[in-house]
Structure 1
């Protein structure tokens, strides 16, 4: 008989998860797992590494007549004589046809001598038992072997799992459905020292240690507490000879595990993790731990581990060089990625995980991913400003632009679906090509709403809602309703009845993003500003009308009497929206703080006024707005919505620009020139002309770079060097070549912040990399450089050659002969490409011949 404890466990399980199970109509399994018990005995050696496992699965039947139990199991040696299905004390496995194992498709079929009885309170469950052996290599799926060198240079090995998505069947026979939840109970043997195998002393699973005992063979047997109800891809197991450093935040214990001789490289991530945990606790205002037990972070020295698994909450694994901070090897960009990734993972944990005392579930997992991304950037903004009090909240600023540009790069394609299409998708099942869409676009829309209703009000409402839903479901509909209740005030009712819920829904159920066309009618007082929207697209045949509900904010050049510059309270929809504003002959710039998820195209006069201001006193426009203007200009030109002379006139001021935010926006914008869908009829000649133009613009900034080693300066310097290198700026290339030669001769180490640019230069020139083997940090930068160059070469190969663009000329009015000499304007000579100046002589000859 199944024990009363099991029945009690299942009743609790049923009550807690009834709504969850009932609403998942797609579950077509006839048998449902309730609890897995795994007894694992690992063996590690230089010759063969494997583990033996005794598995017990408590299951129930969902419908009558079931005579075959179907388990997922792949690439494992099953002891078929150990397979039993126990109905109480009776084994009901068929004697004539007990099992079938299809290793190719990863299926184990257990045939029964009698049908299963569907579960109810008057019946019982069943217990599946079997034993298997899993041989591990470095190429195994799900759970695999990792080799590394210890402090003596000797080879050591570890076992680690990566079960997302649908790879649990490589670890243990199971019902590998990401919607099935069960309790997991582990028992692990730490085998005693011997002359054959590697001695290990570290065993970590998703449960907390309950007790240890030593058997007569001196093996240490560790029993773990039963886990919360989790899916198979939330299970984790790690077995090694690692050691740890740990730190305690206000409510949580954070531990980092690595080989003992490398622990000093993880002090940064340890202290940083504590700071982010403290920020989360300050932000939430609730004095409770994120999880029940320590949070383990394991540095896995393997390229197969790339980032965190989305569903992990207390056993986090990441590639060692993704969390290590070595001054001589970690670049500032790698450090930036490292800090964002951990902040995002901790945000996921705070928003809901199986290890919290009251389980929070999200009906739309893509929405949880977007909120976690928004919070990660928010906590990074506080971290970089040293802020740990909600009353001193720092805005997202540059981080907001970063996530917006990443989202737009994906969202502009014609086949990109709306966010609402992912409502039924699990986060782990969303294709990688849409990962930036669901994370960055959702975060960008939240940033837009935050700036519209006010930062303090937005964050207070967000925290209040998340705290109120502990132990319950969170849905997008419920979230937006709560935001409406907590952010609308009668005295500040929005002009056209727009609310947070209406805005969010208009963006979630439409794909892409809009461009707002601004037409200023200057022949009346006050001036009339007309706004209308359509979908932004680089392809001319994908520009249909849209109905986004867009929060409008703006600044004006002469703002003495500008009411809406300080209280942006209106939105526009599909119809043309007209409002009055006295511009006094100046410009208007929409999207104050650049927080709106849209682009803006002005009439020619307004663009020219903006260009004049940028040329004379660019800092009179906020740097976030300058960054948005620069990026929009590139995008509008590529899409065919702006002529090249006007675009170059606006961008001409960049040689005076020293803002890191603007230059990152310029680099992102220049990358848009390589978009295969474009309305500007891009050619190789045209691309080279723009490359020459930007080379001259970046030169003064490159020449003025500081040698300071603070975070922001290092990041800016790295961005500018990478951009100048990709533009083939000769002083930059010469400096990189000199640095690399010095590195090869061992006179100086290669600055990690310049390493990616060096590799780009070497790969472009087919140069020799040297005999030294690249470490993991260097390999990452080489892969990034190869990807950048491959994208550029693919674009060049697919782009027609074209012809040089005609040079602008001015005919002299004083000429009295037929050989009148055209005069090239001084301004154009200052800005034109030296590579196409020889074409001037062709134009001169053509004109003279025509005049004769």
Structure 2
């Protein structure tokens, strides 16, 4: 899944078409759903029709029965499914959208058992002769009779007890008939809505990962339970039906007096349930030359396609697919690659095999409106999802505890694919900013977690959802990048190729990949100090990472577990005692590159080839996942070099020096003054990566001090540093009339204007508010450069009042391009008016105003505003039950919500409120549980840092801004 982002007519079952379409059943079951929505779990059997049973638990009192566990028994193995679904795109008399369907699963009995346990969640199942399913023997096998059947709600199982055992080696088929709600909850089979020419349109679509295929039909919903899927969709004639496979020609059918289409699809490849996808919509598509071996189509709202918003995705999909075919030495295994942009989608994208689903912002690009950041997002998300077509889909991890391997790998190679598609963007460098630096801040907390967990520690759906975090994606990608670097990319890819060949259409665990990479090493000239498995287990089986300290005077190198709060207690044991095998690299004054494997806590007398007054910078291009500290003399030499000729140090390492120094200072390993001194050369720096790293680190100072007396001198210092950058881009763009040519220059122009306006650089605010006023005078003509839109909108809304806010809100509601709507939605949080921010918070929980997919991110944006943070915190606490229940406690965005709300917390009062929040809502945090613990830890660390550093920081900023 992207950030941080998922049949044959001949075997169609037709004997129960009448049961599926029965109007009485539908009406009765819609009443059941109405009651479910009002949280009445104790449904009366009289509510439903006589042929249905409501989803109530009849859990036997005996604990630890097979159905009490969250994992399926290993007694049955699915072979194929034949699923027919009919989504209703209009509400019924109760205002509910539903779908009806039936499913046949063919399975093999692996081990004799008198139980059938299969996943089913939020489905109302039809009863047949008193039972919730029908069982038939195949190939001469006799099906036992059903003793009893029920839905086990806590573990989301349909349980069938049999009168006699199924026989090992025999095959059977299980038939179910059901009704489900086509809800707007963004999970399973759900609905998305949009307006076109003033008319509401409904899309029926899916998001199965990780555990929601069971909401669409009963299934063995675990990644190792692979099967072949035969899908059939019944839909209105004005719509098109899509699924993972190529469709057969639709046929006309009549159901309940409605003339409909029935579209069947070719059987899928053998695959996991979470990769299944199907969509019914009124979209259209753009496609490549149909003579290509693989049919590539970009689907979206009709107007978006007609206006060319899918053209960029279409242009880049083919080349990226070819890149991965070469990288994996494996042809794309399907006939088609459909990619579809959905108005409502919880992740960035989902790697469904053959039908990749996206948020509109992750697939559609409009050159006149979208920024180059939007364009990069489209390229990298497409690359991420296409990487999964092999690594994740063709070969799938056995269980969710290895999710890091799937998502971390796709994160890393997405930059390789995007670099191939856009070779002038320096994408292989930008991974440092986008993934490595950010996740180090999370992994430096004692509340972090290892990349790989034990299977038994990841059982419940909310535990699985909790793994979709920055550790899994960004740290996973970072350590695999490090591995590829010390193996070389050629050896790394050759290991991947044999791994994919051995495990294609099957499942694997991370040690299988290590084995194949080791085989590739054995065939190369690469010399490693230990096997790939021994080296990498230290990076994935224990949380955190080391800080490597280099003493250039003695040649000593040492390592220790890096923690932002060195006084915090690490409660998570590690068999490796928080030591790593570290590939240390460095360059010195003369530019010579050297390397050394640090295999213990300390190594002595390493020859670093340094003369007097020379410098050394380690971790070349930040390929290693570690921080670096130096002796005082080397730090001073590096600072001197930055102040005189900073270009002698590679640009990534200039960024790294800033980031390492600030984080080392927070960990009390160097002085805060030293960290601040790494920013002094910025008045001569024009490159994006050092500036962006400095901006992020100084943002922490603003979070801590923007309500104190430090704020003024800090603003004055940053104004002094950014003024030359602002003037540089004013000259480069010929007084803001041109767009810089370089991809990263375009990003840094945004930084220049944003920081200049926020610190009061002369002429900046007048520039942005002037552009915004021009737009307000003529709303149909927006001349603001796409790259600068968010910055201009935010600056003008912050400087203005209700008129500016209401204008932006009107433009947001009328925006037809998702990337433009996103910029306005974020900029609306920049206002300084508390009443407007409070009104905006209320809008966040009204899906008619802010889509559910955007609610948490909008609240986070409001909380990033110093005025909005306490308002957002109070709002979320007051509404937590509603947010948790209606916006999905299993959603992995919940961790981001807690993190965003609490970033400024740095006082005893903040800590107490956070502890009270935890206590008041115990058991109601779902996928935000770990984020809450991280927030508590970060708050305590912030309190300590403030107490120690406030006076020193104030004095330094005063000294740097006072007249000589």
TM class, shorter-chain normalised?
0.7 to 0.9
* 1:181 corresponds to: 226
Q: Distance in 1 between matches of 2:605 and 2:467?
A: 39
The answer as to 2:647 corresponding to 1:602 is no
Q: 1:177 to 1:550 in 2, by over 3 A?
A: closer
* 2:806 corresponds to: 770
- Within the candidate set 104, 127, 134, 1:85 is matched to 134
1:317 Cα deviation (Å)?
1.2
Once the two structures are overlaid, the 10-residue window that deviates more, 431-440 or 466-475, is 466-475
Once the two structures are overlaid, the 10-residue window that deviates more, 506-515 or 760-769, is 760-769
Q: Distance in 1 between matches of 2:377 and 2:579?
A: 35
Structure 1 residues 215-262: Cα deviation after superposition (integer angstroms, max 9, x where no partner): 588644333223333333222211122222112696432111123332
SS, match of residue 57 in structure 1: strand
SS, match of residue 428 in structure 2: coil
* 2:65 corresponds to: none
SS, match of residue 351 in structure 1: coil
Q: 1:375 to 1:491 in 2, by over 3 A?
A: closer
SS, match of residue 117 in structure 1: strand
* 2:265 corresponds to: 224
SS, match of residue 393 in structure 2: coil
- Within the candidate set 518, 521, 545, 2:550 is matched to 518
1:160 Cα deviation (Å)?
0.9
* 2:204 corresponds to: 159
- Within the candidate set 339, 362, 374, 1:297 is matched to 339
1:61 Cα deviation (Å)?
5.5
Q: Distance in 1 between matches of 2:497 and 2:703?
A: 40
* 1:142 corresponds to: 188
* 1:841 corresponds to: none
Aligned runs of 1:47-196 on 2, under 5 Å? Answer: 49-59=97-107, 66=114, 72-76=120-124, 78=126, 84-87=133-136, 115-121=163-169, 123=170, 125=172, 127-139=173-185, 141-150=187-196, 152-177=197-222, 179-191=224-236
Q: Distance in 2 between matches of 1:85 and 1:489?
A: 55
SS, match of residue 595 in structure 2: coil
Aligned runs of 1:693-708 on 2, under 5 Å? Answer: 693-705=717-729, 706=733, 707-708=738-739
- Within the candidate set 328, 339, 349, 1:284 is matched to 328
* 1:579 corresponds to: 606
* 2:895 corresponds to: none
1:26 Cα deviation (Å)?
4.6
Q: Distance in 1 between matches of 2:284 and 2:327?
A: 32
1:475 Cα deviation (Å)?
4.0
1:612 Cα deviation (Å)?
1.3
* 2:927 corresponds to: none
The answer as to 2:346 corresponding to 1:346 is no
Q: 1:733 to 1:487 in 2, by over 3 A?
A: farther
Q: 1:145 to 1:682 in 2, by over 3 A?
A: closer
Q: Distance in 2 between matches of 1:171 and 1:574?
A: 53
- Within the candidate set 538, 541, 547, 2:564 is matched to 538
* 2:315 corresponds to: 271
Structure 1 residues 246-284: Cα deviation after superposition (integer angstroms, max 9, x where no partner): 126964321111233321211111111112112222333
Unaligned runs of 5+ in 2: 1-10, 13-68, 571-576, 830-859, 867-901, 908-942
Question: Is contact 1:204–1:239 with CA below 8 Å preserved after alignment?
Answer: yes
Question: Is contact 1:80–1:130 with CA below 8 Å preserved after alignment?
Answer: no
SS, match of residue 414 in structure 1: coil
Q: 1:590 to 1:104 in 2, by over 3 A?
A: closer
Q: Distance in 2 between matches of 1:169 and 1:757?
A: 43
The answer as to 2:787 corresponding to 1:753 is yes
- Within the candidate set 340, 347, 350, 1:306 is matched to 347
* 1:369 corresponds to: 407
Q: Distance in 1 between matches of 2:447 and 2:253?
A: 61
Q: TM-score, normalised by structure 1?
A: 0.78
Question: Is contact 1:634–1:672 with CA below 8 Å preserved after alignment?
Answer: no
Structure 1 residues 807-845: Cα deviation after superposition (integer angstroms, max 9, x where no partner): 999xxxxxxxxxxxxxxxxx99782269xx9xxxxxxxx
SS, match of residue 749 in structure 2: helix
SS, match of residue 658 in structure 1: coil
Q: Distance in 1 between matches of 2:339 and 2:595?
A: 44
Q: Distance in 2 between matches of 1:828 and 1:131?
A: 70
SS, match of residue 181 in structure 1: coil
* 1:383 corresponds to: 421
Could you say what the CA RMSD is over the residues aligned between the two structures, in angstroms?
4.0
The answer as to 2:695 corresponding to 1:667 is yes
Q: 1:536 to 1:200 in 2, by over 3 A?
A: same
1:741 Cα deviation (Å)?
2.0
Question: Is contact 2:226–2:270 with CA below 8 Å preserved after alignment?
Answer: yes
Question: Is contact 1:373–1:439 with CA below 8 Å preserved after alignment?
Answer: yes
Aligned runs of 1:453-852 on 2, under 5 Å? Answer: 453-463=487-497, 465-467=499-501, 470=504, 474-487=508-521, 493=527, 497-498=529-530, 500-521=532-553, 528-542=554-568, 546-558=578-590, 565-580=592-607, 581-673=609-701, 684-686=708-710, 689-705=713-729, 706=733, 707-708=738-739, 710=741, 711-725=743-757, 731-746=763-778, 748-761=782-795, 767-768=801-802, 769-771=805-807, 772-774=810-812, 775=815, 776-782=818-824, 784=826, 786=829, 787-788=860-861, 790-791=863-864, 793=866, 795-796=903-904, 798-799=906-907, 805=951, 831-832=960-961
* 1:318 corresponds to: 358
Q: Distance in 2 between matches of 1:212 and 1:829?
A: 74
The answer as to 2:452 corresponding to 1:420 is yes
Question: Is contact 2:113–2:167 with CA below 8 Å preserved after alignment?
Answer: no
Q: 1:65 to 1:431 in 2, by over 3 A?
A: closer
Once the two structures are overlaid, the 10-residue window that deviates more, 432-441 or 656-665, is 432-441
Q: Distance in 1 between matches of 2:373 and 2:562?
A: 30
SS, match of residue 189 in structure 1: strand
Unaligned runs of 5+ in 1: 7-23, 192-198, 388-393, 522-527, 560-564, 810-826, 838-852
SS, match of residue 347 in structure 2: coil
SS, match of residue 798 in structure 1: coil
Structure 1 residues 357-396: Cα deviation after superposition (integer angstroms, max 9, x where no partner): xx56567342132222111112222322169xxxxxx882
1:609 Cα deviation (Å)?
1.4
Q: 1:325 to 1:616 in 2, by over 3 A?
A: same
Q: Distance in 2 between matches of 1:321 and 1:378?
A: 21
* 1:253 corresponds to: 295
Q: 1:128 to 1:475 in 2, by over 3 A?
A: closer
Q: TM-score, normalised by structure 2?
A: 0.70
1:350 Cα deviation (Å)?
2.5
* 2:855 corresponds to: none
* Higher Rg: 1
1:45 Cα deviation (Å)?
3.6
Question: Is contact 1:551–1:569 with CA below 8 Å preserved after alignment?
Answer: yes
* 1:207 corresponds to: 245
Q: How many residues align?
A: 752
SS, match of residue 28 in structure 1: coil
Question: Is contact 1:553–1:590 with CA below 8 Å preserved after alignment?
Answer: yes
Q: Distance in 1 between matches of 2:584 and 2:153?
A: 59
* 2:285 corresponds to: 244
Once the two structures are overlaid, the 10-residue window that deviates more, 423-432 or 733-742, is 423-432
